C-alpha cells in the first residue's frame, strides 16, 4: 500500500476531527499476542499509534456487524464477535470517540493482511501495519504510542476483564 509521509496529520484526520464518533474494536488474542494496527497521523514525528482493529459504527448496522466489517477491511480476517468487554472514552484535542471493544475470534490458520480504510484514498491511509504484540512488548513503547486500553495490560487475560474507562 503506498505511503505518503508528507501528508499532514490534519489532512489525514480531517474526516474525524470535530465530531463525536462511536467506534467498535476487536480484541483478537492468539498464542499470547494481541493483533494491533498501527495508525499514522495521531502522534508527532510520524510515531505509530497501536490500537486494536476497528472503526466507525454506521447507520443501519448492528455493533457486531460493524465490527465484522471493520475487521475484514483492516485485516482481511473474518471474525466471530464474542462478548462485550470494554467501554472507553477516547479524546484528544481533535478527536473524540466512544469506543466499544469486543472479544473476537478468527480461524486459527487465518493470517491477517493489512487492509485499507475505504473512506481514504490509497495514499491517505491511516493504517500502516498490523502486528502481534505480547503485553511485555507493548510495555517497551512510550505510553502515547499504545491505546490507553492496553497500557497497563500485564497478561492477555487482563483484556477479558470487562471495564469502563472515562477520561
What are the structural domains of the chain?
12-165 (3.90.79.10)
pLDDT for residue 158 = 84
pLDDT for residue 97 = 87
The mean pLDDT value for 46-75 works out to: 96
Q: Is pLDDT at 10 greater than 80 in this prediction?
A: no
Q: Is pLDDT at 17 greater than 90 in this prediction?
A: no
pLDDT for residue 155 = 86
C-alpha grid cell, residue 74: 483492516
C-alpha grid cell, residue 58: 454506521
Q: How far apart are the first and last CA of the chain?
A: 34
Answer for the pair 111, 119: CB distance below 8 angstroms, yes or no.
no
The neighbour count for residue 15, using CB atoms within 10 Å, is 14
Condensed to tens digits (0 to 9), the pLDDT of residues 120-141 reads 777 777 899 999 999 999 999 9
Could you tell me the pLDDT band of residue 9, with boundaries at 50, 70 and 90?
low
pLDDT for residue 1 = 40
Instruction: Give the list of residues 6+ apart from residue 143 with CB closer than 8 angstroms, or none.
Output: 151
Q: Is pLDDT at 161 greater than 80 in this prediction?
A: no
Q: Residue 97: which of 1, 159, 13 has the closest Cα?
A: 13
pLDDT for residue 2 = 43
Q: Residue 24: which of 100, 104, 75 has the closest Cα?
A: 100
Percent of the chain with pLDDT over 90: 58
Amino acid at each position: 500500500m503506498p505511503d505518503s509521509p508528507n501528508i499532514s496529520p490534519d489532512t489525514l484526520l480531517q474526516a474525524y476531527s470535530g465530531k463525536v464518533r462511536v467506534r467498535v474494536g476487536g480484541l483478537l488474542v492468539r498464542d499470547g499476542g494481541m493483533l494491533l494496527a498501527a495508525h499514522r497521523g495521531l502522534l508527532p514525528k510520524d510515531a505509530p499509534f497501536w490500537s486494536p482493529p476497528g472503526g466507525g459504527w454506521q447507520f443501519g448496522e448492528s455493533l457486531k456487524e460493524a465490527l465484522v466489517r471493520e475487521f475484514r477491511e483492516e485485516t482481511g480476517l473474518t471474525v466471530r464477535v464474542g462478548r462485550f468487554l470494554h467501554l472507553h472514552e477516547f479524546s484528544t484535542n481533535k478527536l473524540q470517540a466512544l469506543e466499544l471493544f469486543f472479544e473476537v475470534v478468527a480461524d486459527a490458520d487465518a493470517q491477517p493482511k493489512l487492509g485499507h480504510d475505504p473512506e481514504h484514498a490509497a495514499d491517505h491511509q491511516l493504517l500502516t501495519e498490523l502486528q502481534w504484540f505480547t503485553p511485555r512488548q507493548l510495555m517497551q513503547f512510550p505510553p502515547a504510542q499504545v491505546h490507553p486500553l492496553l497500557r497497563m495490560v500485564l497478561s492477555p487475560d487482563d483484556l477479558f476483564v470487562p471495564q469502563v474507562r472515562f477520561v
